[in-house]
């Protein structure tokens, strides 16, 4: 079974358009797992055009209160856990700080459709964010390295599990 894995789409929260490359990379999947920070219900509707979707709620999903925080799925005889992975502030803030002051050189953020590049930072600054986000965006807009947006594909079969990370560029 071919399974698409998506996280941190943040549409329409931070993305003005849903990336067409997501559909290109996940074409042919029989199931799509969304690991949170969906953004809005329109994301799940768009993904359902490709395949059934199972999703969990991330820390930016206030608009989707009916999504569970975690799910355990049985897929091809394997148990698959789906969780956004919200870290405590004791971990999240130092990790964000290190990624920020290194201008993206030490950024621990793989597997997200939305990545904050200079243009995204400037758009978000135009929305008049709170002081913490404003401060972070002032630095992050000068990033020297921006992680490439990605999705994943899992293939689960009798011979095991194969995972692949696919860039959206």
Paired with 97 in beta bridges are none
Instruction: Domain count for the chain, please give it.
Output: 1
- For 53, the token pair is 């979707």
* Mean pLDDT score, 112-125: 90
Query: Which CATH number fits the domain that encloses residue 35?
Result: 3.60.21.10
pTM over 0.85: yes
**Could you list the residue range(s) of the whole structural domain that residue 82 is in?**
2-167
- For 160, the token pair is 């095991």
Give yes or no for residue 108 having a pLDDT over 70: no
Q: What integer pLDDT is reported at residue 101 of this predicted model? A: 77
Give yes or no for residue 110 having a pLDDT over 80: no
* Mean pLDDT score, 27-48: 96
State how far Cα 78 lies from the chain centre.
23
Give yes or no for residue 111 having a pLDDT over 80: no
* DSSP, res 11: B
* Phi, psi values for residue 99, rounded to 5°: -60, -35
């Amino acid at each position: 079974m071919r399974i698409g894995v998506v996280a941190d789409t943040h549409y329409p929260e931070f993305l003005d358009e849903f990336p067409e490359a997501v559909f290109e990379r996940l074409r042919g999947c029989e199931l799509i797992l969304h690991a949170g920070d969906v953004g809005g219900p329109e994301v799940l509707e768009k993904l359902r055009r490709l395949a059934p979707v199972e999703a969990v709620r991330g820390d930016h999903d206030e608009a989707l209160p009916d999504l569970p925080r975690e799910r355990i799925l049985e897929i091809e005889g394997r148990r698959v856990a789906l969780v956004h992975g919200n870290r405590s502030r004791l971990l999240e803030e130092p990790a964000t700080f290190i990624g920020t002051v290194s201008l993206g050189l030490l950024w621990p953020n793989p597997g997200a459709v939305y990545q904050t590049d200079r243009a995204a930072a400037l758009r978000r600054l135009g929305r008049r964010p709170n002081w913490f986000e404003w401060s972070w965006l002032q630095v992050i807009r000068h990033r020297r390295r921006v992680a490439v947006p990605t999705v994943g594909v899992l293939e689960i079969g009798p011979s095991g599990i194969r995972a692949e990370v696919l860039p959206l560029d």
